[in-house]
Amino acid sequence: MVKSRLVIAGLIAGASAIVMPLVAAVAVQDTGLGAQDLAVLAGVIQLVRQDYVHPVGSDELVKDALKGMLNRLDPHSDYMDEQEFKDSQADTAGKFGGLGMQISEQEGVVKIIAPIDGTPAARANLEPGDAIVMVDHTSTLGVSLQKVVDQLRGDPGTKVTVTILRGKQEPFDVTLTREIIKVASVKSELKPGGVGYIRITQFGGDTSDAFKKAITDFKQSADGGVKGLVIDLRDDPGGLLSAAVDVSGDLLDGGSVVSIHGRQTEDQKTFDAPAHGDMLPGVPVVVLINGASASASEIVAGALQDRHRATIMGTQSFGKGSVQTIVPLRGHGAVRLTTALYYTPSGRSIQDDGIAPSVVVEAPKDQQISGGGLLREAALQGAFKNPGPLNRTPGTSAAPAATAQAKAAYSAPIKADLIGKPDDAQLKAALAYLDDKAQAGSTSQPQAEPK
């Protein structure tokens, strides 16, 4: 059984998080709860306060009751007390030291989903699937994920030692120095033959401008013009929804990028590309993904795949397709509640399934992380099953025509320190694919009609 929550031990803004203004804080009103339900809850709290073997304050009991209620809904809903909420805001503002990795919990063991390029976690060669069994020589087994995150956080410049269990290897210690996680989210390089390579490590506030600049620089530097583009989203855990929409819009002329759908009217939204947004019209594009490509990465891959603007290569993505809304509770922290799901332009839900590559390219065994398979959204306790496409007629096939040739492929990701390097076999395959298209004289991919 997987008891899991996703928490960022560092600075990442979630693509799935929508923050409601403080004036929208939950107030006591007609909740639809019966007096008997409330009486049972109050009665149990009173029983624990009165008869439990150790004294427990009512505030702690209420906090734990809220956490328990929300944690049982799905892997991403949660309650944050006032201090946790303040810490999360300070973290987003870059005021806390972190390690730069996304972590989760499986069977009571904390595991790394993905380290972020250029951070302490990546420089220490920590890998997706690594289990953090101790922090500063204290066991993490059975410790809540939030408490482990608190142990990993600290003042920039201070050190923390984590004990790592990787596959069948003996546990080993890694000492890291905490720092403010402010990493350039876009790295670019013009490859031989006029092929541009853009690596997006996470979707942050600088991603949109940096992506545009990279393409502009390619167009100015490439003799004979840009012949192809590789967008590398491997090990990219996500980020800002707005950045994902902007990046997709830089390669599309109008039409849908992504839509979100929930129970409430305000949770029904469609995000479109600019009418004349494509900066590289007619230039073939490859998007590389793997099992650690999540959320915003999946939005970009899904949009460009559905719109027939890019060939998706690699292995199946993570499958995080839900939207969380942050609702502040005045003076009492905040609720993080799943309120909607993401859908690609053709109406596919990203949730659970993720994005399947059109061309499967697995990393060679000697380039794969040694820990083996990667934890995916589907394995998390309470994760939603894929609901099927929008407006699906009962009894019809769930496979949209736009992705009929996409294939599910699950395998261990490539080692993080190989991504984008000369020996990177998956990148070589993407460059060879674009070279073959150029040799064949096929230098364009038709876009689907805007929706």
- Residue 161 φ then ψ, to 5°: -110, 125
Locus of tokens 């109008």: 254
Low-confidence ranges of the chain (pLDDT < 70): 1-33, 90-96, 371-374, 392-408, 441-451
Please check whether residue 56 is in contact with residue 49, taking contact to mean a CB–CB distance below 8 angstroms: yes
What pTM was estimated for this model as a whole? 0.80
- Specify whether 314 is located in the same domain as 213: yes
Give domain status of residue 69, yes or no.
Answer: no
- Specify whether 340 is located in the same domain as 362: yes
From 209, 211, 258, select the one nearest 16 (Cα to Cα): 258
- CA 42 to CA 346: how far, in whole Å? 48
- Specify whether 120 is located in the same domain as 204: no
Q: Which domain holds residue 430?
A: 186-391+400-440
- Specify whether 349 is located in the same domain as 246: yes
- Specify whether 310 is located in the same domain as 195: yes
Domain end call among 122, 146, 177: 177
CB atoms within 10 A of CB 314: 33
Q: What is the CATH number of the domain that holds 325?
A: 3.90.226.10
- Specify whether 155 is located in the same domain as 203: no
From 58, 10, 39, 77, select the one nearest 380 (Cα to Cα): 77
- Specify whether 274 is located in the same domain as 206: yes
- Specify whether 196 is located in the same domain as 166: no
Give domain status of residue 451, yes or no.
Answer: no
Q: What is the pLDDT of residue 338?
A: 93
Q: What is the pLDDT of residue 14?
A: 46
From 397, 236, 262, select the one nearest 324 (Cα to Cα): 262
Q: What is the pLDDT of residue 95?
A: 58
Q: What is the pLDDT of residue 342?
A: 94
Give domain status of residue 65, yes or no.
Answer: no
Q: What is the CATH number of the domain that holds 149?
A: 2.30.42.10
Q: What is the pLDDT of residue 96?
A: 63
Domain end call among 118, 145, 177: 177
From 294, 265, 414, 213, select the one nearest 6 (Cα to Cα): 294
Count of domains forming the chain: 2
- Specify whether 141 is located in the same domain as 285: no
Give domain status of residue 235, yes or no.
Answer: yes
CA distances from 139 to 28, 96, 162, 178 (A): 41, 23, 10, 20
Q: What is the pLDDT of residue 430?
A: 98
Q: What is the pLDDT of residue 16?
A: 59
Q: What is the pLDDT of residue 46?
A: 94
Question: Which residues in 210-282 belong to E strands, given as ranges?
Answer: 228-232, 256-262, 269-272
Residue 197's contacts (CB-CB under 8 Å, 6 or more residues apart) are 188, 189, 190, 191, 229, 230, 232, 420, 427
Give domain status of residue 261, yes or no.
Answer: yes
CA distances from 62 to 49, 58, 144, 442 (A): 11, 6, 17, 63
- Specify whether 361 is located in the same domain as 270: yes
- Specify whether 299 is located in the same domain as 266: yes
Give domain status of residue 424, yes or no.
Answer: yes
Q: What is the pLDDT of residue 406?
A: 60
Q: What is the pLDDT of residue 161?
A: 98
Q: What is the pLDDT of residue 223?
A: 84
Residue 249's contacts (CB-CB under 8 Å, 6 or more residues apart) are 257, 272, 273, 274, 277
- Specify whether 124 is located in the same domain as 213: no
Give domain status of residue 333, yes or no.
Answer: yes
In sign, the C-alpha dihedral spanning 301, 207, 237, 435 is positive
Active centre residues (catalytic): 295, 306, 320
10 Å CB burial of residue 216 (0-12, 13-18, 19+) is exposed
